[in-house]
């Protein structure tokens, strides 16, 4: 293990210097802020548009009266179902026989319907847009997205209400950072309003949540994980939506979520961008990761059709709060709990990078960090345990984890444009290990990086970004891996 004393010896300084926080910058406030420039203007009304929000928070938001687990008895169990189910799974088919276009000359080959308007495209024929879901697939996908927006709305506000300004400063975050997080929370009022309007009167409502953090850094880490599965969950279904109008507005919303995830990574001391391509996930993956943190929902709440997989626990997932993250304990004890996306524990008694002012080892908030030791690496032995199906999860403990897969044989790594497999070695009926595989998308872009989905499967099925959901019947358990 690389100790603080060892780092100090390498750099030729005293250990106390490394542990000291960075000195406060010396700033002299200017006497004035520029010349008295006169700019022409026209007074505008200060009254905003009368568009109702799905949730009116107002100023002075405080944490919800209760955050914690469900303590009642569920009156309904299982995912919502249709009038009938036509098959056990979707059968694979060959290429779409109408997908034959190929341009060999580099110029348009079909008549233009109007000037500067090449032939083709969807929703380009002048039809008036209808910004409403247009199928059961659309409805269930956007309803899932709304569950996501609701938890983010509460989650972002909760830490601001729960932790003091002194605790934020201890984590390296000034009131300006807190103001940015407040703005991101306010963004969620717009996102939840948009999705509510596209669903109609049966749109899911805000729930009560059960969070896994005790410190500011654990809150930040949890938020970067939540926004990861929120963003990837949308990229996975957005291009399958029947309503292209809904997809258009959803894309403009999820682009904001991507920025939020990057910012929370920066505040956590992680590299803000560590991949060339973001990864898309099927809805059941993101619902599996979201549901355990919802404890209560209102009576008659709209339920979801998506599957909840058993949890795959990564016992030696890298602790982002260590300066030597691969020295993380091997028994799963360095996460705050046993739920699927629980954050790394902070306030370590040794090996902490939280207040370490050393390039390559510190993990305080920053635009970017160059790490001397990666969070993980190709060839790393990764240890697993996994739950059996049948656990009650989600709102009012009313959903049940399930799998249709056989015995686990493979570990699937879903990141960027790839789903890569490595063999699973069993050590018991519910434990095993693999070695992190090496692979590249293009050039030097390593496939496995960032916060990503990982799963046990009974088959190394070949899937691509547009049909990843074909793997669902073969998933034994699902987890969240921290790489980089």
* Model pLDDT for residues 381-419, shown as the tens digit of each residue: 999 999 999 999 999 999 999 999 999 999 999 999 999
Integer angstrom CA distances of residue 61 from 29, 156, 159, 366, 418: 32, 11, 11, 27, 42
pLDDT tens-digit readout, 166-213: 999 999 999 999 999 999 999 999 999 999 999 999 999 999 999 999
Q: How many CA atoms lie within 13 A of 303 on its CB side?
A: 20
Q: pLDDT grade, residue 28 (50/70/90)? A: low
Q: Is the pLDDT of residue 60 over 50?
A: no
H-helix segments, 163-243: 165-170, 175-199, 216-237
Q: How many CA atoms lie within 13 A of 377 on its CB side?
A: 8
Integer angstrom CA distances of residue 461 from 90, 92, 387, 419, 474: 14, 11, 22, 9, 8
In the chain, count of helices (H) and strands (E)? 8, 12
This prediction has a pTM of 0.89
Q: pLDDT grade, residue 21 (50/70/90)? A: low
Q: How far apart are CA 435 and CA 395, in angstroms?
A: 35
pLDDT of residue 57: 40
Q: Pick from 195, 73, 83, 69: which is nearest to 131 by CA?
A: 195
Higher pLDDT, 346 or 45: 346
As a whole number, the mean pLDDT across the chain is 91
pLDDT of residue 34: 58
Q: What percent of the chain has pLDDT over 70?
A: 88
pLDDT tens-digit readout, 339-371: 999 999 999 999 999 989 898 999 999 999 888
H-helix segments, 206-330: 216-237, 244-267, 283-290
Q: What percent of the chain has pLDDT over 90?
A: 80
Q: Is the pLDDT of residue 135 over 90?
A: yes
Q: pLDDT grade, residue 53 (50/70/90)? A: confident
Q: How far apart are CA 468 and CA 144, in angstroms?
A: 18
Lowest-confidence pick of 30-34, 109-113, 237-241: 30-34
Integer angstrom CA distances of residue 80 from 83, 85, 306, 446: 10, 12, 8, 39
Under a CB-based contact definition with an 8 Å cutoff, are residues 426 and 471 in contact? Answer: no
């Amino acid at each position: 293990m690389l100790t603080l004393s060892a780092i100090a010896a390498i750099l030729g300084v005293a250990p106390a210097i490394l542990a000291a926080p960075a000195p406060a910058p010396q700033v002299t406030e200017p006497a004035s802020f520029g010349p008295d420039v006169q700019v022409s203007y026209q007074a505008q009304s200060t009254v905003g548009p009368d568009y109702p929000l799905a949730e009116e928070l107002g100023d002075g938001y405080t944490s919800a009266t209760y955050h914690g687990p469900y303590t009642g008895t569920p009156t309904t169990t299982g995912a919502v179902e249709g009038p009938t189910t036509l098959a056990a799974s979707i059968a694979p088919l060959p290429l779409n026989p109408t997908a034959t276009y190929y341009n060999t000359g580099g110029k348009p080959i079909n008549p233009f319907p109007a000037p500067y308007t090449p032939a083709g495209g969807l929703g380009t024929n002048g039809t008036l847009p209808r910004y409403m879901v247009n199928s059961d697939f659309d409805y269930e996908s956007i309803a899932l997205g709304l569950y996501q927006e609701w938890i983010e709305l509460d989650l972002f506000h909760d830490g601001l209400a729960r932790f003091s300004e002194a605790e934020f400063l201890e984590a390296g975050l000034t009131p300006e950072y807190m103001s940015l997080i407040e703005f991101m929370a306010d963004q969620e009022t717009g996102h939840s309003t948009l999705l509510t309007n596209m669903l109609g009167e049966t749109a899911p409502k805000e729930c009560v949540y059960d969070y896994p953090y005790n410190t500011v850094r654990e809150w930040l880490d949890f938020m970067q994980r939540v926004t990861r599965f929120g963003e990837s969950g949308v990229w996975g279904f957005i291009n399958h939506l029947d309503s292209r109008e809904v997809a258009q507005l959803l894309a403009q919303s999820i682009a904001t979520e991507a920025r939020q995830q990057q910012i929370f990574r920066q505040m956590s001391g992680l590299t803000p961008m560590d991949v060339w391509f973001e990864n898309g996930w099927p809805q059941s993956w993101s619902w599996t990761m979201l549901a355990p943190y919802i404890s209560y929902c209102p009576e008659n709440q709209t339920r979801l059709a998506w599957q909840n997989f058993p949890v795959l626990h990564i016992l030696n997932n890298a602790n982002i709060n260590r300066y030597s993250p691969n020295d993380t304990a091997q028994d799963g004890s360095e996460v705050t709990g046993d739920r699927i996306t629980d954050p790394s524990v902070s306030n370590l008694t040794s090996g902490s990078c939280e207040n370490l002012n050393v390039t390559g080892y510190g993990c305080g908030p920053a635009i970017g960090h160059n790490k001397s030791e990666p969070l993980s690496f190709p060839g790393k032995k990764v240890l697993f345990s996994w739950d059996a199906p049948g656990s009650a999860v989600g709102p009012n403990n009313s959903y049940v984890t399930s799998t249709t897969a056989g015995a686990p044989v493979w570990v699937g790594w879903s990141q960027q444009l790839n789903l890569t497999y490595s063999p699973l070695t069993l050590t018991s009926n519910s434990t095993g290990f693999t070695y992190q595989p090496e692979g590249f998308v293009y050039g030097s872009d390593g496939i496995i990086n960032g916060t990503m989905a990982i799963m046990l499967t009974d088959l190394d099925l070949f899937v691509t970004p547009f049909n990843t959901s074909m793997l669902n019947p073969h998933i034994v358990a699902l987890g969240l891996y921290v790489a980089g």
